[in-house]
Structure 1
Amino acid sequence: MTCPTCQQNIQTTVEYEIGLFTWLMVGGVCLFGCAIPLVWLGCCFIPLCIKDLKDAKHTCPNCNTHLGTYKRAK
């Protein structure tokens, strides 16, 4: 894409951040796992480690302008 700030043709830099969808998955694992003792071992926090469940923040690698965030849940 072309950065609207520096006008360079770029491929965005992506940073993954914990968002609403990630916390919903933590809650879902916790709710469904209540019958299984694995929840007490911390398995409900596994979604915090999976980047496909996090929001993706796109920035320009040249000028570090925030170009947008893809939120998994709105």
Structure 2
Amino acid sequence: MTTWAPPRRTQHPELRPERSGRRDRGGGPTAERQVFRERVRMEAVGMFADGRGSTEIAKELLVSVRSVQRWHQA
């Protein structure tokens, strides 16, 4: 008998939280990761300028709709 499992959410691999416990040691995202995230945010800015909606942008960039909404508010 096969057990039920919830569907997996698709998320950009580079945006997944680190599993090494860096935050527990007082660290945060690496400089490389910050640059990557900023690049994704800037892509979203361009998409907003083209008149696209938050849901569409989130699906294309593989991020949460809430993240896109926060970027748009900022």
Report if TM-score (shorter chain) is over 0.5. no
TM-score by length of 2: 0.29
Greater helix share, structure number: 2
Structure (1 or 2) with the larger CA radius of gyration: 1
